Chain A
Amino acid sequence: MKSDPDRELVEACQATAPTGLEGAFRRLYDQYKDRVYNVCFRITGNATDALDASQETFGIMFRKIAEFRFESKFSSWVYRIAVNAAIDHKRRAAARWLPSFEPQNEHTRPAARADLRDERTEAPLSAATRHELEAEIQAAISRLSPKLRAIVVLRYVENLSYDEIAEALQISLGTVKSRLSRAHEALDRELTPVLDRHFLR
Chain B
Amino acid sequence: MSERRDPACESLRPALIQRAEVGAPDPAVDAHAAGCGTCRRELERAVRRVGLARSLARVVAPRQLDGLVVAALQAGARQERAVRAVLDLPDVAAPRELAERVEGPRAPRVLERLVSEDLADPSKAVVRRYASRLERLRAPADLADRLRTPRQHRRVVPALLASLLVGAGVLLLVGVLVLTAERDRAPTAAPGPVLVVERAASIHDLDPAASLLASGLTGGLVDADRLSREGS
Contacts and interface: CB of A to CB of B under 8 A. Distances in A.
A126 to B, nearest CB: 14
A21 B66 contact: yes
Given A18-B77, A33-B61, A54-B65, A178 B14 contact: yes
B61 A121 contact: no
Contacts of B72: 55-56, 58-59, 62
Given A19-B74, A58-B69, A180-B17, A185 B59 contact: no
B78 to A, nearest CB: 10
B60 A152 contact: no
Nearest to A157: B56
B20 to A, nearest CB: 9
Interface string B16-51: 010001000000000000000000000001101110
Q: Is the interface of A mostly helix, strand, loop or mixed?
A: helix
Contacts of A84: none
Contacts of A116: 56-57, 59
A99 to B, nearest CB: 28
A141 B55 CA distance: 13
Interface in A133-188: 133-134, 137-138, 141, 152, 155-157, 159, 177-178, 180-181, 184-185, 187-188
Nearest to B15: A177
A54 B68 CA distance: 9
Contacts of A54: 61, 65, 68-69
Interface residues of A, number: 55
Interface in A29-64: 29, 33-34, 36-38, 41-42, 47, 50-51, 54-56, 58-59, 62-63
Contacts of A33: 61, 65-66
Interface string B69-86: 111111111001000000
A115 interface: yes
Interface stretch (A70-78, A86-94, A192-200): A192-200
Contact of A184 (B17, B59, B75): B17
B14 A180 contact: yes
B22 to A, nearest CB: 11
A154 to B, nearest CB: 11
A180 B13 CA distance: 10
B96 interface: no
Q: Is the interface of B mostly helix, strand, loop or mixed?
A: helix
A18 B56 contact: no
Interface residues of B, number: 36
A62 B73 contact: yes
B8 interface: no
Contact of A134 (B1, B56, B76): B56
B58 interface: yes
A34 B60 contact: yes
Contacts of A118: 55-58
A18 B21 CA distance: 40
Nearest to B71: A55
A17 interface: yes
B62 A47 contact: yes
Q: Which 5 A-B pairs have CB atoms at the shortest separation, nearest pair first?
A: A118-B57, A156-B53, A37-B61, A59-B72, A55-B68
Given A17-B77, A177-B14, A181-B14, 14 more contacts: A21-B69, A29-B69, A51-B64, A55-B65, A59-B72, A59-B73, A116-B56, A133-B55, A134-B55, A137-B55, A157-B53, A180-B17, A187-B49, A188-B45
28 contacts: A17-B77, A18-B77, A19-B74, A33-B65, A37-B60, A41-B59, A42-B59, A58-B72, A58-B73, A59-B72, A62-B73, A63-B76, A115-B57, A121-B55, A134-B55, A137-B52, A141-B53, A141-B56, A157-B53, A180-B14, A180-B17, A181-B17, A187-B49, A188-B2, A188-B49, A194-B52, A195-B49, A195-B52
